[in-house]
Structure 1
Amino acid sequence: MSSSTTADTVLVGAQVHTLDPGRPTATAVVIKDGMIAAVGDEGDVREWRGAATQIIDLDGATLTPGLVDGHIHPVLGLDLVSGIDLSDCTDLGELRDRLATETRRLGRGEWVRGFGLDHNVFAGGPITRTLIDDVLQGAPAFLRLYDGHSALVSGAALQAAGIDGPRRFAQRSTVVCDDRGRPTGHLLEHAAMDLVLHVMPPADPAERRSRLLALLGEMAEAGLTGGHVMDAEGGALELLADMETTADLPMRLRLAPWCMPGATSEELDRLVREHGRGGRRWSLGAVKFFIDGTVEGGTAWLEHPDCHGGGTDSLWLDPDAYTRAVRHLAAAGVQTATHAIGDAGVRHVLDTLEGIDTLGVRHRVEHIETLPREEFARFAALGVAASMQPTHSAYTKADHTDEWSRRLGPDRADRAWSCRDAHDSGAALVLGSDWPIAHFDPREVLATARLRRLPSRPDAAPVAPEQALTARTALEGMTSQAALVAGESHLAGRIAPGYRADLTAFGVDPIAAPADELASAPIRLTMVAGTVTHHG
């Protein structure tokens, strides 16, 4: 046999879900030059074997197209999870104890950093530095709330940033102040948080590089072969380019740099020029917008006010400017992905895309936390993709006693993360984690999409259980639908000749196994471009 017809790798002993309508199942896959060369049973692939061919026996594991997280922040997330993890704090007493311990551990005057702080810790009361300043003993502190769009900072941090009153921004961000105009330490949205972030000591570049490599390795171990990265912040492009000078990344990363309110036409033109730039396993594939913020922070754009009378404004001071910016990029063939959580925000995004020539590009709406069922029909009609994160529903409770539900009221809370409505509308539905807002493990995402609760919480009542996805639909949301939304259906999302050899092998069948079992099942193999990135 000539070397031109000899495989690099042959996978055998597998139960293969190809997601290829032409051949739905198989037991063996042939890989050559990073691509799938043949799919069939062991008899079909025998002729591909040569002296140098690597034979991997999957011993009954279930092979699927490689899992892709449809919304993730691996580089920016390194900064978002800096410091102590506060996600397990359930009340103010626990928070104060954790901060006191961390303050004693650090040297005098060092910054106390924390992340994952749950709004429910404050039991619906004000989020204010007066609740924590005494235990910090004068230390500057930056505590990011779990939504990633707000923070609580100490009095010393406000002083370091020169914040002594309200500020005006080009976007709808707020330095929350009391009735005497004094900052409470609660900062809403990116521009307000940046005032403090810009005076904090920067992370060590070598440490960030090491942390990112370790993180991507952990993601590969969990079965991920790629991610749609919804930012290009924190020097991400330079960092990824530098990493590829020494080795291939263990995942494909498709990045979407931010376009924030106030962007000029020159900045929009620069985003168009840079579109498509990339390396071997990373590229700029979209542009990320924010039309609103979060429900818990009171910055989601809602059709009707939340329980505090807020939430009726766009993050863009002029929503028409958002529309012009999106259409500018769409006219250049650049995909846009818009963070839109509230129903009014989602509606405005769809209105923006109504009636324009999208040049065959499938634009995206991210999150869609509460939306009337009839609105989902517009996604399919306009060819707009719904990008949703099932594990975010873990921040709510079925009985509506959490802060997200209280803010919205029962009617809107009943529409929480309506994944089934999105799918049944005929829209493309891509699933992800939004790490670090929720854990990146795709098994947890797939299981939660079916259970409507975290697999680790069998005692929790499911949230809107009628919105559960089938096992196959969930799997498609991280494989074939992710490829469709990225414009890569001809290259990815199925196991067929001519497709990338990006593959994930589960210890159980992700379609047939119970969801709780899937969440804890081993990943036997992860492969990107025919290269093994994890072998368990």
Structure 2
Amino acid sequence: MKRHSVDRILVGRTITLDGTGRIAQAVAVQDDRIVAVGSEADILDLKGAETRVFRTDGTIIPGFNDAHAHMDTEGLRDRFPSLGHVRSIADVLARIAELARATPPGEWVVTMPVGDAPFYFGGPIVLQERRMPTRAELDRAAPDHPVCILPPSGYWSLVPCYTALNSRALKLNGLDCSSTSPVEGVELERDAAGELTGIIVEHNYPDSAQIALLPAVPRFSARDRREGIVRSVRTYHAMGTTSVYEGHGCAPEVISAYRDLQQARELTMRMHLVVSPTWTTLDDAQLMMRDWLSYARGAGLGDAMLRIGGIFVSYGGEPTAAAAAMANPADLGWSCYVKQANTPAEFERLCMLAAEHDLRIHTIAIDKLHEILPIFERVHAAHGIASRRWIVEHMSYAAMGDLARLKALGIGVTLIPDYHVWKVGTRFFPLSETERALVAPAAQLDSLGVPVACGTDNSPCNPLATMRAMRTRRERTTGEVLGGNGRTSAELALRAMTQNGAWFSFEEHVKGRIAPGYFADFAVLSGCPLTTPGDALDSLSCLATMVGGRFVHGGET
């Protein structure tokens, strides 16, 4: 680098995460890389006539790397109108009538769920009547339109989730008193006479009712998904996120949307997408792995902005929901992935095939690590996977001995602390204090040397909320601490949401540190995440975000 040749200089408290605990005063950027980090005086000595200087009273950190994001979902929530702050059936009906007046007769009126965004906790419990509106009530509000009040996804709300339809909507979907649900966990509510009320209750976390029962309800188009990703990227950048790892898998429709944005040079988020496969039999899987998924082998195929690598394979799952999803894999609902269901024997066979073809497995563990580990150990004995970076996703609870077994297999883990500790922590209250500390066990995994990164799961998409859950471990309804010995240090919470995710995409040598040679990906926060108390972390804001040396939020656009 020539003297006085840098493009940008950022001046402010800089947490480098370079392994030494160093706090710098400034950082210099040339093109998309960091070229120097140090004191303000030393870095300003590199300033040339064209160098742009950004000064902040905030704190500069490596950009957040959301290791389990479901990012595309965020932008889809703007596709349909909100019901607003409704508190009674009358409020809901007034909003439906208002939307019907603005919609040509015969066309669909489709809305976001009942409840308060972004979580929609409780759904109809927020209404005075503590129930959803019936078909008859919706008929009065919109007699000339089919109406559908959508359910939330159980992952960003809580089950059960509720859909409400009027009579026109039921008829267009072929639903009558003789109809039954083909999916376990989805019920068609009936009145005392056995007639459909228009209310559908979903007990599955991935939404299945629309896919299985409502083919006539408008779907997200390819354009909706593409535009939704654009909105999502903007929202995630505003949180300081510069990289996303989609380990739960992405369906072909979603991968295509990201590809289109990348080809149009409109993608500003660094993305690693894992393939959500559409096979229906083990024979299909073997064929696809051998002939069609070569691009996803090893570290995958792509560039610094968009890479596709690895496959998601479900352990368990609800078979009837998976069958409904596989009947039309393009019909995803709120999901970005195709739902699967595999028995333990099927899962093991798919893992063996993946190992044969050098395809990295990603699977959701929840509390089933003790069942998955013996399968992985048999695969490792047959094929040697310790250097391949297989991933266990969304792990809730596991025994300490099982966590230790991950190290020998070279397996990394993604956790969702805000979900398992803050949102649904009451599930784990029956556990002992020692066992509670092993819910979302970032501290324990890190101490064992097991690669661990955390994600937001888009519920909400704020990395600082995830870090708050890691450091405080407070459950939302009681304020009770869920296993105090599981609290992480401030430094680990920050690493788990920034630096650690780079290992999962084979980018630990270019991403996650503020050091020469690394990508110039930064978040500028209003305060210091290392000194701010855990309970106050999500009160911080992101002042600016930079990806590859260019501001994508705040700063100098």
Q: Counterpart in 2 of 1:104? A: 97
Q: Counterpart in 1 of 2:417? A: 390
Match for residue 162 of structure 2 among 142, 146, 152: 152
Question: C-alpha deviations, 1:337-384, integer Å up to 9, x for none?
Answer: 21222x23x233322321412262222122222333332222233222
Q: Offset of 1:152 from its aligned partner?
A: 3.3
Note if 1:376 corresponds to 2:403: yes
What is the alpha-carbon distance in structure 2 between the residues aligned to residue 190 and residue 321 of structure 1? 23
What is the alpha-carbon distance in structure 2 between the residues aligned to residue 258 and residue 142 of structure 1? 24
Match for residue 74 of structure 1 among 71, 75, 79: 71
Cα 1:491–1:279 change in 2 (3 A) is: closer
Note if 1:223 corresponds to 2:236: no
Cα 1:184–1:53 change in 2 (3 A) is: closer
What is the alpha-carbon distance in structure 1 between the residues aligned to residue 429 and residue 317 of structure 2? 18
Note if 1:439 corresponds to 2:460: yes
Asked if 2 retains the 8 angstrom alpha-carbon contact of 1:145 and 1:151, the reply is: yes
Q: Counterpart in 2 of 1:304? A: none
Question: C-alpha deviations, 1:78-101, integer Å up to 9, x for none?
Answer: 446754668989xxxx57456434
Question: C-alpha deviations, 1:14-63, integer Å up to 9, x for none?
Answer: 2222111257332221211211112222343345322222222234x322
* TM-score of the pair, normalised by structure 1: 0.78
Note if 1:472 corresponds to 2:491: yes
**C-alpha RMSD over aligned residues:** 3.8
Q: Counterpart in 2 of 1:195? A: 212
Letter in 2 for 1:411: L
Cα 1:95–1:364 change in 2 (3 A) is: farther
What is the alpha-carbon distance in structure 1 between the residues aligned to residue 189 and residue 223 of structure 2? 41
Q: Counterpart in 1 of 2:56? A: 58
SS in 2 for 1:262: coil
Q: Offset of 1:232 from its aligned partner?
A: 2.3
Match for residue 257 of structure 1 among 275, 288, 305: 275
SS in 2 for 1:290: coil
5+ residue gaps, structure 2, are 140-145, 322-338
Equivalent residues in 2 for 1:360-439 (5 A)?
A: 360-392=387-419, 393-396=421-424, 400=426, 405=427, 410-411=430-431, 414=436, 416-435=439-458, 438-439=459-460
Letter in 2 for 1:477: A
SS in 1 for 2:147: coil
Q: Offset of 1:234 from its aligned partner?
A: 7.2
Note if 1:354 corresponds to 2:377: yes
Asked if 2 retains the 8 angstrom alpha-carbon contact of 1:117 and 1:145, the reply is: no
* TM-score of the pair, normalised by structure 2: 0.76
Letter in 2 for 1:291: Y
SS in 1 for 2:431: helix
Equivalent residues in 2 for 1:41-56 (5 A)?
A: 41-56=39-54
Cα 1:231–1:133 change in 2 (3 A) is: farther
Q: Counterpart in 2 of 1:504? A: 523
Note if 1:214 corresponds to 2:254: no
Letter in 1 for 2:373: L
Q: Counterpart in 2 of 1:272? A: 293
Q: Counterpart in 2 of 1:8? A: 7
Asked if 2 retains the 8 angstrom alpha-carbon contact of 1:76 and 1:234, the reply is: no
What is the alpha-carbon distance in structure 1 between the residues aligned to residue 131 and residue 220 of structure 2? 25
What is the alpha-carbon distance in structure 2 between the residues aligned to residue 181 and residue 377 of structure 1? 54
Cα 1:378–1:517 change in 2 (3 A) is: same
Q: Counterpart in 1 of 2:327? A: none
SS in 2 for 1:72: coil
Equivalent residues in 2 for 1:122-201 (5 A)?
A: 132-137=134-139, 139-147=147-155, 151-154=161-164, 160-162=172-174, 165=179, 174-176=185-187, 185-187=200-202, 188=204, 189=206, 193-196=210-213, 198-201=215-218
What is the alpha-carbon distance in structure 2 between the residues aligned to residue 225 and residue 141 of structure 1? 34
Cα 1:87–1:252 change in 2 (3 A) is: farther
Q: Counterpart in 1 of 2:333? A: none
Question: C-alpha deviations, 1:92-134, integer Å up to 9, x for none?
Answer: xx574564344323326634443477675689xxxx9987444
What is the alpha-carbon distance in structure 2 between the residues aligned to residue 257 and residue 86 of structure 1? 34
What is the alpha-carbon distance in structure 1 between the residues aligned to residue 441 and residue 94 of structure 2? 41
Residues 263-272 or 147-156, more deviating: 147-156
Equivalent residues in 2 for 1:448-459 (5 A)?
A: 448-453=469-474
SS in 2 for 1:512: coil
Q: Counterpart in 1 of 2:334? A: none
What is the alpha-carbon distance in structure 2 between the residues aligned to residue 522 and residue 154 of structure 1? 37
Cα 1:465–1:243 change in 2 (3 A) is: same
What is the alpha-carbon distance in structure 2 between the residues aligned to residue 512 and residue 167 of structure 1? 53
Identity %: 22
Q: Offset of 1:433 from its aligned partner?
A: 0.6
Note if 1:333 corresponds to 2:358: yes
Q: Offset of 1:185 from its aligned partner?
A: 2.7
Cα 1:119–1:175 change in 2 (3 A) is: same
Residues 425-434 or 134-143, more deviating: 134-143
Q: Counterpart in 2 of 1:529? A: 548
Cα 1:426–1:135 change in 2 (3 A) is: farther
SS in 2 for 1:266: helix
Asked if 1 retains the 8 angstrom alpha-carbon contact of 2:242 and 2:522, the reply is: yes
Letter in 2 for 1:139: V
What is the alpha-carbon distance in structure 2 between the residues aligned to residue 130 and residue 69 of structure 1? 35
Q: Offset of 1:190 from its aligned partner?
A: 5.5
Cα 1:327–1:87 change in 2 (3 A) is: farther
Q: Offset of 1:528 from its aligned partner?
A: 0.8
What is the alpha-carbon distance in structure 1 between the residues aligned to residue 275 and residue 91 of structure 2? 35
Asked if 1 retains the 8 angstrom alpha-carbon contact of 2:124 and 2:132, the reply is: no
SS in 1 for 2:445: helix
Asked if 2 retains the 8 angstrom alpha-carbon contact of 1:255 and 1:283, the reply is: yes
Q: Offset of 1:223 from its aligned partner?
A: 0.7
Alignment coverage as a number of residue pairs: 490
Cα 1:144–1:57 change in 2 (3 A) is: closer
Q: Offset of 1:75 from its aligned partner?
A: 2.1
Asked if 1 retains the 8 angstrom alpha-carbon contact of 2:68 and 2:244, the reply is: yes
SS in 1 for 2:500: helix
Match for residue 536 of structure 2 among 492, 517, 527: 517
Cα 1:195–1:495 change in 2 (3 A) is: same
SS in 1 for 2:507: coil
SS in 1 for 2:272: strand
Match for residue 244 of structure 1 among 262, 282, 286: 262
Letter in 1 for 2:138: L
